[in-house]
Amino acid sequence: MKKNLPMIIRVLISALFLLSAFAKLYPTPMFGITKVFEQGQLIPMGFPEDLVPYLSRFILAIELLIAFAILQKNYLKKLIIPSSIGLLVLFSLHLSYSIFLGDSENCGCFGDLIPMSPLQALIKNIITIAVLGYLYKNTADDKENSCSKLSIQFLSVLLVMFAFLPVSSQTKSEGSSFVSFVEDDNFKHSEEYKILCYFDAGCEHCQHAARSLDSLSNLSESFPAIHIVFSDTEQDNIPSFFEYVGNQYPYQVMPFANYDTDEVDSYMEITFPDYDNPIVILYKGAKQIRLFDGTGYNEYHAEELQLLLDK
């Protein structure tokens, strides 16, 4: 058993890295890598948003390479095992910082496939690092290494990543299509100021944005009508959403994803990949005045919205 233990560990580590890579592509590849991995992990770590799409694919390629290469002897002790440990240490440092800040939400290590808190993920990483340390100690020194073979494997995996998950070159549209999915005809065809929101009921940022809008509406009797489109992923949280906001506003629920048709009739297909929750759009009739989205440079600010309404 002891003689076969290193090989058993290599198979388990390979399976772990394969799972980690493919879990980041759940429930759909582009959604998983963009919404969950890039926006949930890499951007909060401080990486520039322009660089993140390339970095995410590079990291997935590294994970897949490790999964394949750890089953081979090529540069196993000199490069593959140390690289595996290094990658885990990097993410463990980020997880430790998240724990220090009190974050207990899904860290995104296994995407949305296997939700894990930062603490759970850190424990998993520490155990894996310890196992890799044992493997390193009990692995013979590399004898016949092929740099070209390893390079070809990595470049092949990297090419597949960028071919399978192309980086979007789209620029954000004016968002004029958002209002076309509203079921309330009076709101859709109103020529007055109006505010359309795309929210997830369980999203804290969406809740704060809605509460801010409610506070603004209490300051003016002529505040624009508000209509909310929820995805059905957290539909059960809608009552508590409005309880937190303080008032209930007209809303509709849209399927998060529809895998049976190519038509644009789901929340994800409308918003992804160019926009992130919370989405708050100010219209004057059919004309879009301002679109806020996400929690970065373009996030919703009540002060800016009020200035636009006062013009």
pLDDT, tens digit, 9 for 90 and up, residues 263-301: 446 887 788 777 888 999 999 998 889 999 988 788 999
Q: Please give the mean pLDDT across all residues of the chain.
A: 88
What is the arrangement of strands in the sheet containing 225-231, beginning at the earlier edge strand?
Answer: 251-254, 225-231, 193-199, 279-284, 287-292
> Which one of 1-5, 49-53, 210-214 scores highest in mean pLDDT?
210-214
Q: How confident is the model at residue 258 (pLDDT cuts 50, 70, 90)?
A: low
Distance CA 74, CA 97 (A): 35
Residue 265: the pLDDT is 65
Phi, psi (deg, nearest 5) at residue 57: -70, -35
Q: How confident is the model at residue 46 (pLDDT cuts 50, 70, 90)?
A: confident
Query: 200 with 218: CB under 8 angstroms?
Result: no
Which one, of 17, 107, 101, 32, lies nearest residue 67 by Cα?
A: 17
Q: Which amino acid is at 69?
A: A
Can you count the helices (H) and strands (E) in the chain?
11, 5
Structure tokens at 5: 């233990």
Residue 175: the pLDDT is 46
Domain segments of the chain: what residues?
A: 5-164, 178-310
Residue 173: the pLDDT is 44
Q: How confident is the model at residue 123 (pLDDT cuts 50, 70, 90)?
A: very high
How many beta carbons lie within 10 A of that of residue 141, not counting itself?
Answer: 7
First to last CA, the chain: 77
- Check whether domain 178-310 has CATH 3.40.30.10, yes or no: yes
pTM: 0.64
Q: Is the model more confident about 34 or about 255?
A: 255
Residue 215: the pLDDT is 95
Residue 65: the pLDDT is 96
How many beta carbons lie within 10 A of that of residue 142, not counting itself?
Answer: 14
Query: 176 with 286: CB under 8 angstroms?
Result: yes
The residue whose two tokens read 């520039």 is: 48
Distance CA 280, CA 199 (A): 9
Q: What average pLDDT does the segment 4-13 reach?
A: 94
